[in-house]
Amino acid sequence: MKSKNQSVFYKRFLELQNKAKIKKYIYGILYYFLNTITFISTLYVAIIAVYFLAGNNSNYQNNENPYRLDFWKDSSNYILATTIINSLTSMISSLIAFFAINNKFRFYKEKFNLLKFEHLYYQTRKWIYFDQLDQENDFRLMKRALNILEIDRYKSSSFLYENKMNKEE
């Protein structure tokens, strides 16, 4: 809809939308990656436990246990391996909880979808963009984007810093 003559407000909206999209993907990848690692390491601990118990079974003929490995003969190796893996799993789980990665991912996913809908309203000139001038609609679009992303344009230092950087360009 917009051509070369895009207003500053419309360009700012596109920047905000792009940053929300990037954050959505970063938090999404981070969340699913860390959860996958947690799941795999938990599964690995279970497999190690089964293999260790099967290897220490002495009910085989001629004492030929196919699951017996030299590494698992010493039970302290088993305890050490499972403790290390469990501590890594706990650390990853605490990182997920501490940084609230899931909440941030859901936040940016929801906000990005709202920005897409808002942009769609703007492009089709529906709802509040119905009967206004282009500059008023551009300003309204940017103002609503700040509201959707919960950015206080007067108090957010990052927003002020980005505006300063944009002026220098």
Amino acid residing at 148: I
Which residues are CB-contacts of 104 (< 8 A; sequence separation ≥ 6)? 23, 27
Cα 75 to Cα 86: distance, rounded to the nearest angstrom: 17
The confidence score (pLDDT) of residue 144 equals 85
The domain spans of the chain are 8-168
The confidence score (pLDDT) of residue 24 equals 92
- What digits encode the pLDDT tens for the residues 46-69? 888 887 777 777 777 777 777 777
Cα 70 to Cα 55: distance, rounded to the nearest angstrom: 10
Tokens representing 45 are: 């601990």
Closest CA to 70 of 49, 85, 52, 43: 52
The confidence score (pLDDT) of residue 23 equals 92
Asked if residue 89 lies in contact with residue 36, where contact means CB atoms within 8 angstroms, the answer is no
The confidence score (pLDDT) of residue 26 equals 93
Flag residues of the chain having pLDDT under 70. Answer: 1-5, 72, 153-169
The confidence score (pLDDT) of residue 162 equals 56
Taking every pair of Cα atoms in the chain, the longest distance, rounded to a whole number of angstroms, is 91
Half-sphere exposure of residue 76: CA atoms within 13 angstroms, side-chain side: 0
The confidence score (pLDDT) of residue 145 equals 86
